[in-house]
Amino acid sequence: MFKKGKVVIITGASKGIGKAISYKLAARKMNLILAARDISSLNSIKEDITNKFDCKVHIIPTDLTIEDEIKNLVEKTINKYNCIDVLINNAGVGRFARIDEFTIEDYNFIFDVNMKGLFLLTKYVVPHLIKQNSGHIINISSIAGKNGFKSGTLYSASKHAVQGFTWSLREDLKEYKIKVTTICPGSVLTEFGSKKPTHVEWSMEPEDIAHACDYLVTESPNVNTAEMIIKPRYNPRTINWENR
């Protein structure tokens, strides 16, 4: 039986996969800490969720490239609840080009969010999980962390780094009864990469990934799903999510 009223930090919660995860876990009456840079979108999501679900939602605007803001996110969560049950490192960015067309600014932009921000937030959350002797860290990686693709050198490299980080983190933390999972989605219909969503027959919906997170945070305490690779089976826009 999973713990009710879990305290869950979700990064990149203002849109896409992070937003979908927020709604999914709100239906479980979990206490949500939503982090992103876009405070306007966070406020709108909070208002909508609290109108639809019986749960608590707190928003903490956070730039994952700034260490002090990451510390603030963790400190405010602990001050509010005195625990953290689940950390979902979802925030991610991407730029795509041939390798000689990239700049050092592109490199820093991608790795500062996809790897350094994830590292720092995990670093500051882990001592609290060790103290609790419990917790679950879920890192949203990508199928690009398993395979390369044209124009994806920097993005794929950052997601391969997330994969190695996650697998080693699990070994560090399993003695403290802390679960660690990586999710590797294929293409998802979001505004990722600063592009507006477009209809791609083989893209999944953000709700597909949220559904996976819902499973993970409610799975048996006796198991730790180490990795989930999620690929589309058919056009997901035929799914009626309200009835699922």
User: Can you tell me which residue has the tokens 């993005």?
Assistant: 155
User: Does residue 155 have an active-site annotation?
Assistant: yes
Closest CA to 32 of 47, 12, 46, 48: 46
d(CA 16, CA 228): 19
Q: What is the distance, to the nearest Å, from the Cα of residue 160 to the centroid of all Cα atoms in its chain?
A: 16
Token output for 206:
């953000």
Residue type, 51: N
Using an 8 Å Cβ cutoff, are 144 and 162 in contact?
no
SS3 13: coil
Residue type, 159: K
Catalytic residue among 23, 124, 155, 215: 155
Query: Could you give the C-alpha distances from 162 to 2, 134, 195, in angstroms and in order?
Result: 27, 22, 23
User: Can you tell me which residue has the tokens 């950390």?
Assistant: 87
Catalytic residue numbers, as ranges: 155
